[in-house]
């Protein structure tokens, strides 16, 4: 398998491990956006969030929280991308924990909103809820 994260899990590629269990691995990012930028991954290989079993996702988020607390960060982003146009570069689900110590370090986000039609929102709500 050519997945870089699977190779890290198997120990074929070294990493700076913060945490490891049967289901989860967390390590420091070697190309950090800020000090403490970490990657938290399920050991189950899946390209997108919906490919990962719920029990694995639950542990990943719990570990993300533990690392944030251990780092003592007050402001941080948790980022998880799915698909190339959503900026996913590695086809293995991973969560970034990115400390935001000040305005210039960490993740920069431009969030452009637009007004939504309330009728369309109601239709969307009903459609999504009917499929859950």
Taking the CA atoms of 101, 105, 107 and 111 in sequence, report the sign of the dihedral they define.
Answer: positive
Is 50 annotated as catalytic? no
Name the catalytic one among 45, 50, 92, 94.
Answer: 94
Using only C-alpha atoms, the chain has a radius of gyration, in whole angstroms, of 17
Question: ∠ CA 47-49-52 to the nearest 5 degrees?
Answer: 80
Place of tokens 């990657």: 39
Active site positions, annotated: 94
């Amino acid at each position: 398998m050519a997945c870089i994260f699977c190779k890290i899990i198997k120990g074929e590629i070294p990493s700076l491990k913060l945490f490891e269990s049967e289901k989860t691995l967390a390590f420091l990012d070697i190309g950090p956006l800020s000090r403490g930028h970490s990657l938290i991954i399920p050991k189950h290989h899946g390209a997108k969030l919906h490919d990962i079993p719920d029990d694995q996702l639950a542990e990943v988020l719990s570990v993300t929280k533990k690392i944030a607390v251990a780092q003592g960060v007050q402001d941080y982003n948790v980022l998880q991308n799915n698909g190339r146009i959503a900026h996913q570069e590695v086809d293995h689900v991973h969560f970034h924990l990115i400390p935001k110590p000040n305005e210039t370090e960490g993740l920069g986000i431009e969030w452009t909103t637009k007004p939504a039609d309330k009728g369309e929102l109601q239709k969307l709500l009903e459609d999504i809820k009917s499929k859950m």
